[in-house]
């Protein structure tokens, strides 16, 4: 079974010395090294290492922050290793998922990640509830000014609806929705027949 090592630094100015020596002392068969931020979910060298791993292989890192910078990201990788029957070792953290203590660590990590997600959800719901009680209108703000300007142009000019839509920054469907609320409906033949007729009548009245 292969033992694959992975080491990472954020910039080319940093050195791999301590990581490299620890991995060599552990006895890895192949080492992938990467110059990249640990917060990035997609890393070329990490993906290459993950690709060549087979069931029964061991994936070794110097310490946990070399693999991931967040609980969610780390847990996702650990779950992938577990699903693929790949052993995971973090030398500095004394973690080895081929041992009972290592598997216990994996379980604890999952519990903490689940608790973290639940706490975030509770905080969001509490914030929404408090906002509603304080009279805050949630969701996207209503396009009051744009709608009023669009309706004004529709009723008092001969500008086509499409141009009104572009000028006011709202969709034609939004304009027609508010026109329907006023009791103005489009005909089946064309979208602006009613509008055009109305403008002509208005012009005749002015004469």
Distance of CA 88 to the CA centre of its chain: 27
Where in the chain does DSSP place strands (E)?
A: 3-9, 30-35, 58-61, 87-90, 95-96
Report which of 36, 56, 58, 55 is spatially closest to residue 46, judged by C-alpha positions.
36
Measured CA distances, 46 to 15, 26, 62, 69, 192 (Å): 18, 19, 14, 14, 58
Measured CA distances, 127 to 45, 113, 142 (Å): 41, 21, 21
Report which of 112, 114, 81, 118 is spatially closest to residue 97, judged by C-alpha positions.
81
User: What are the catalytic residues?
Assistant: 10
Side-chain-side CA neighbours of 66 within 13 Å: the count stands at: 28
Report which of 181, 149, 179 is spatially closest to residue 165, judged by C-alpha positions.
149
């Amino acid at each position: 079974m292969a033992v694959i090592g992975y080491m990472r630094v954020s910039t080319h100015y940093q050195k791999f010395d301590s990581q490299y020596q620890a991995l060599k002392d552990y006895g890895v068969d192949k080492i992938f090294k990467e110059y990249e931020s640990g917060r990035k979910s997609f890393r070329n060298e990490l993906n290459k290492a993950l690709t060549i791993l087979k069931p029964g292989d061991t994936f070794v890192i110097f310490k946990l922050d070399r693999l991931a910078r967040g609980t969610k990201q780390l847990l996702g990788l650990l779950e992938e290793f577990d699903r693929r029957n790949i052993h995971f070792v973090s030398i500095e953290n004394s973690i080895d998922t081929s041992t009972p203590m290592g598997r216990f660590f994996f379980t604890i990590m999952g519990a903490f990640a689940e608790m973290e997600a639940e706490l975030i959800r509770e905080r969001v719901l509490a914030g929404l509830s408090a906002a509603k009680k304080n009279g805050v209108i949630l969701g996207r703000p209503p396009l009051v000014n744009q709608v009023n300007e669009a309706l004004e142009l529709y009723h008092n000019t001969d500008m086509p609806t499409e141009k009104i839509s572009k000028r006011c920054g709202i969709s034609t469907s939004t304009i027609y929705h508010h026109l329907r609320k006023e009791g103005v409906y489009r005909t089946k033949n064309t979208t602006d027949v009613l509008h055009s007729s109305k403008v002509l009548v208005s012009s005749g009245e002015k004469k």
